[in-house]
Structure 1
């Protein structure tokens, strides 16, 4: 067999393939495969840095019925924007599961990680949000917050948005970014004000002390927490997990070492009988919200199946386009 030279796809090339992909359905199936033990996902590898603050994650694995395995290296360095560099960086490597050959290098600069993260978020909103969404609150005003507004129309018609950010200047710039959109965006003066106005809340920060408090959460609220992907980060008061009627984890195994559920478990605030893995919810919607008075929480720590699915989808799209020519 002739050795295969790996395809190298740059970010502009990758972005050209994305509009052709049904990532919601594909990543939903990835979560289902994980819950059915059809995916092999080892523990996360990580490097944490103090000066400057940052983190690098190595997530990897394969889906048993597919042809590839994927190794993803992604990082977040939070001082980067002051240097004119995106805080997200990374690369995905796609290999043949049959020969171990490296088939593709996706130089995505962390963008695919950002996109697969927002897709997981909107999947939780699709399955758990109350029927009548009054307003959607977004805590944080960075890359992930912007992506939420780009992708939310795929699962909801709600255009009422309330945002909160630590930096007033950056928060104003965030709203300015969407001035020509269909959204009506209000800036909340406090997280309490945001929680009062919204029955869907998305948290997107790298906070290490809780931002959203249990006392602020009204009946019927759904919360998707995205930011806490290490053992040190936390966005939700652990009493919110205690108060919730249904708690969704993207990976119950992973929630034992990181995320909001991990912190709640540490403080004996977790009722394990309320905990459902996202893939099981997708298969069986009866495990989710049954009325608009329930409080639901989804804790997303980011799972390798998302990376496997999105890298495979991009590579297959590249192959199909190449074959056509």
Structure 2
């Protein structure tokens, strides 16, 4: 079994190769050519942590993979990263273990943000955008990087509960992406063309604040039972929900809080034309992202191909 380090992965996995592959992955998922098993989430309330286990595979390869990732939100106070994880890749032909990708959660971070970029590219018609980041952790940074791959960023506005973390994130975004980024209050962060909510919140963060006409909200923090970032007042102003997987979002995403009659379209079905929705430039649209195992399989396959496996 090949051991692949985080450093090796970081050298070959880029948004330039990942985002198109994820877009195709959503299309294949809709056509039954990419597969994700039901996810398993385990909470550790005493240590403010959680573990997510997601299996999946692509029919275009002979691999199957299982991703295990942990998120312990108090770790930064101890000088530790919030996230850790790995991806195990096995052969679907004989069951032999082929590779252990010791990525420390890198594939998860990149495929989550890359999938959001696929959704933004489809749902946001504006090519130059102001990006609002609600939350100042790892996923906020990765989403800025990914969305900058598919759109021109005029500005980045960051709101976070920890003001020092928000400032540090802004400094890093400005240095890396060459775009003006500044810490702001929540209302200013929401006055953007694309808003990413990247928090572990279990109580709504967005309520009756003003939302910009035509905004696309990437709601990726709610990925387990009980998590929630959008309140009832915010939901009332949403013209359309789009899900990575509608059934899974009903269990774990923002859709778990909505009545059954509130229907969500699916990103893959929009990309294939099986469902149709054309934002009119004034609609507020929410992309409900809970994460699917095939996305990890896409990332793992790109890494192994680049390494000649």
Normalised to the residue count of structure 1, the TM-score between the two structures is 0.89
Q: What is aligned with 1:247?
A: 241
Q: Does 1:107 align with 2:102?
A: yes
8 Å contact from structure 1 (residues 159, 182) kept in 2: no
Q: What is aligned with 1:187?
A: 183
CA distance in 2, matches of 1:276, 1:87: 32
CA distance in 1, matches of 2:138, 2:212: 27
CA distance in 2, matches of 1:309, 1:179: 29
Q: Does 1:172 align with 2:167?
A: yes
8 Å contact from structure 2 (residues 253, 288) kept in 1: yes
Query: What's the secondary structure of 2:37's corresponding residue?
Result: coil
Question: How far is the alpha carbon of 1:173 from its aligned partner?
Answer: 1.6
Query: What's the secondary structure of 2:170's corresponding residue?
Result: helix
CA distance in 2, matches of 1:15, 1:166: 29
RMSD of Structure 2 on Structure 1 (CA): 1.9
Distance 1:285 1:186, change over 3 A: farther
8 Å contact from structure 1 (residues 127, 285) kept in 2: no
Question: How far is the alpha carbon of 1:17 from its aligned partner?
Answer: 1.6
**Larger radius of gyration, structure 1 or 2?**
1
Pick aligned residue for 1:27 from 10, 22, 31? 22
8 Å contact from structure 2 (residues 35, 56) kept in 1: yes
Query: What's the secondary structure of 1:32's corresponding residue?
Result: helix
8 Å contact from structure 2 (residues 197, 220) kept in 1: yes
Q: What is aligned with 1:63?
A: 58
8 Å contact from structure 1 (residues 61, 308) kept in 2: yes
Q: Does 1:310 align with 2:299?
A: yes
CA distance in 2, matches of 1:310, 1:132: 26
Aligned positions, number? 308
Q: What is aligned with 1:283?
A: 272
Q: What is aligned with 1:237?
A: 231
Question: How far is the alpha carbon of 1:53 from its aligned partner?
Answer: 0.7
Pick aligned residue for 1:125 from 94, 102, 120? 120
Query: What's the secondary structure of 1:210's corresponding residue?
Result: coil
Question: How far is the alpha carbon of 1:129 from its aligned partner?
Answer: 1.2
Pick aligned residue for 1:271 from 237, 257, 262? 262
8 Å contact from structure 1 (residues 137, 201) kept in 2: yes
1:185-237 C-alpha deviation (Å, 9 max, x unpaired): 23222x22322x31221111111111112552243111111111001111111
Distance 1:285 1:84, change over 3 A: farther
Query: What's the secondary structure of 2:258's corresponding residue?
Result: helix
CA distance in 2, matches of 1:21, 1:314: 13
Q: Which blocks of at least 5 consecutive residues in structure 2 are unaligned? A: none
Distance 1:179 1:66, change over 3 A: closer
Q: How does 1:11-90 map to 2 (within 5 A)?
A: 11-19=6-14, 22-90=17-85
Query: What's the secondary structure of 1:186's corresponding residue?
Result: strand
Q: Does 1:259 align with 2:253?
A: yes
CA distance in 1, matches of 2:214, 2:167: 29
1:33-72 C-alpha deviation (Å, 9 max, x unpaired): 2222223322111211011111101100222342111011
Query: What's the secondary structure of 1:211's corresponding residue?
Result: coil
CA distance in 1, matches of 2:217, 2:274: 17
Question: How far is the alpha carbon of 1:133 from its aligned partner?
Answer: 4.5
8 Å contact from structure 2 (residues 89, 98) kept in 1: yes
Normalised to the residue count of structure 2, the TM-score between the two structures is 0.93
Q: Which blocks of at least 5 consecutive residues in structure 1 are unaligned? A: 1-5, 321-325
CA distance in 1, matches of 2:151, 2:203: 30
Question: How far is the alpha carbon of 1:135 from its aligned partner?
Answer: 1.4
